[in-house]
Copies of this chain bind each other. A is one copy, B any other.
């Protein structure tokens, strides 16, 4: 385990409150930093990660050794072990991602509106940091540099709680960050703090005075647990039940390619499609092609009665009501034939998780209606649902994907880590004159 002067003390249930207080103090200092100082800190951290490749890989080897034993004992999936493993290329990528965040425009101090309320009385709405953000994640130590760089770039302190299987790797990476930040007198190392145990998680969720937002990244069970136990606002996605709707006016080649990509390219993730909806007018032509392609990739198809009737010898499984609200996260796809665009929209709004849904159509009016009426964070025409991702959206990285409608929706990057404040500049203005009718507001937009 890496020990250094800027390593934080081990957390304990009793000390989570104190760590949250230190994060709050760090956030006050971070909020004062110029863009130059924040970027300088990120570039230094990127370099420090590269220079500390040895200790990080060494720590990761110890985590992986323990994980291999767990896999052998049947206590851990080999997929989880694969996500845990960090190699030289992984180190280079961590550093690259941090530099990418440094290159993004400043999310702070953006003037969102400007209004003259009256002569000499001007109201500005300006972006500013949230303060302290807690992120609870599983496996994948490479998320730490992403989260830490997004947090510091947006002037926030971050409390990180990783999975116990990655404890040594996580601590090695956080130590590198803290040592690197510690070289700048204006930047408190407590901007990045690590929590360790399940009990820490529970304690974190009650720090509503010093933590402004909790982001759970992980399984449905983790997100549900966090939402149920938190006194702090939580942004995350409960489930990713995404749909591809193949409209009657679809280009069949695009429809097959998008369906295949949305289901097969990476089925374990939240933006993969779980249900394919097909307009009845195009089903007889489209479904045989699509199903043949999906079957080649080993996808199990669960069909509605009309689908079963259309492909009686296709090796399909009949879908049950439960299938429409199931996130398979696997090579399974439910298929339903619908009589109209209206029914497709209705199905998605009823059974979906408001994450990302796509229409395949060449009909602009059908696309317009679908994209306005489907109540989801992402609504796509002729593109795979798999594009729902902060990096692909151009955010550099993401802290998570939100299916909440409040604050942030969809992939959350720097902007999701900011709030705003109203700055009002007057010259001794008091309300009494307006209440008495002696003065009147002008409410003139200045932007």
Closest CB in chain B relative to A250 CB, distance in Å: 10
Interface centre among A130, A378, A405, A431 (most CB of B within 10 A): A431
**CB pair B387 A424 closer than 8 Å:** yes
Closest CB in chain B relative to A407 CB, distance in Å: 4
CA distance A383 to B406 in the complex (A): 31
Could you say which of B117, B381, B383, B404 contacts A387, with CB atoms under 8 Å apart? B117
Interface centre among A253, A383, A426 (most CB of B within 10 A): A383
**CB pair A431 B386 closer than 8 Å:** yes
**CB pair A428 B349 closer than 8 Å:** no
Q: Which residue of B lies closest to A272 (CB)?
A: B431
Say whether A443 faces chain B, with CB atoms less than 8 Å apart.
yes
- For residue A405, which residues in chain B have a CB less than 8 angstroms away from its CB? 130-131, 212-213, 419
**CB pair A386 B265 closer than 8 Å:** no
**CB pair B393 A432 closer than 8 Å:** no
- For residue A335, which residues in chain B have a CB less than 8 angstroms away from its CB? none
Say whether A305 faces chain B, with CB atoms less than 8 Å apart.
no
- For residue A406, which residues in chain B have a CB less than 8 angstroms away from its CB? 130, 212-213, 233, 235, 406-407, 419
- For residue A407, which residues in chain B have a CB less than 8 angstroms away from its CB? 406-407
CA distance A435 to B235 in the complex (A): 27
CA distance A32 to B365 in the complex (A): 13
- For residue A261, which residues in chain B have a CB less than 8 angstroms away from its CB? 430-432
Say whether A421 faces chain B, with CB atoms less than 8 Å apart.
yes
A417-447 near B? 1/0 per residue, CB < 8 Å: 0011111111111111011000001010000
CA distance A376 to B128 in the complex (A): 10
CA distance A212 to B405 in the complex (A): 7
Say whether A392 faces chain B, with CB atoms less than 8 Å apart.
yes
Interface size bracket, A side: 35 or more
**CB pair A384 B431 closer than 8 Å:** yes
A31 with B421, Cβ < 8 A, contacts A382-B426, A392-B431 known: no
- For residue A388, which residues in chain B have a CB less than 8 angstroms away from its CB? 422
A366-397 near B? 1/0 per residue, CB < 8 Å: 01000111011111111110111000111000
Closest CB in chain B relative to A397 CB, distance in Å: 13
A31 with B426, Cβ < 8 A, contacts A213-B406, A404-B233, A419-B409 known: no
CA distance A130 to B377 in the complex (A): 11
- For residue A431, which residues in chain B have a CB less than 8 angstroms away from its CB? 261, 265-266, 384, 386-387, 392
- For residue A351, which residues in chain B have a CB less than 8 angstroms away from its CB? none
Closest CB in chain B relative to A56 CB, distance in Å: 25
Say whether A280 faces chain B, with CB atoms less than 8 Å apart.
no
- For residue A123, which residues in chain B have a CB less than 8 angstroms away from its CB? 393-394
- For residue A387, which residues in chain B have a CB less than 8 angstroms away from its CB? 117, 121, 424, 426, 429, 431
- For residue A253, which residues in chain B have a CB less than 8 angstroms away from its CB? 428
CA distance A117 to B410 in the complex (A): 16
CA distance A266 to B431 in the complex (A): 10
**CB pair A384 B429 closer than 8 Å:** yes
**CB pair A386 B430 closer than 8 Å:** yes
CA distance A213 to B265 in the complex (A): 36
**CB pair A32 B372 closer than 8 Å:** yes
A435 with B265, Cβ < 8 A, contacts A378-B422, A428-B257 known: yes
Task: List residues of chain A with CB under 8 Å of any chain B CB.
Answer: 28, 31-32, 115, 117, 121, 123, 128, 130-131, 212-213, 233, 235, 251, 253-254, 257-258, 260-262, 265-266, 349, 367, 371-373, 375-384, 386-388, 392-394, 404-407, 409-410, 419-432, 434-435, 441, 443
Per CB-CB distance, the 7 closest pairs between chain A and chain B, nearest first, are A383-B426, A254-B428, A261-B430, A394-B443, A386-B431, A406-B407, A407-B407
- Given A233-B233, A378-B424, 7 other A-B residues pairs in contact with their CB atoms under 8 A: A128-B372, A383-B428, A384-B426, A384-B429, A384-B431, A386-B431, A409-B422
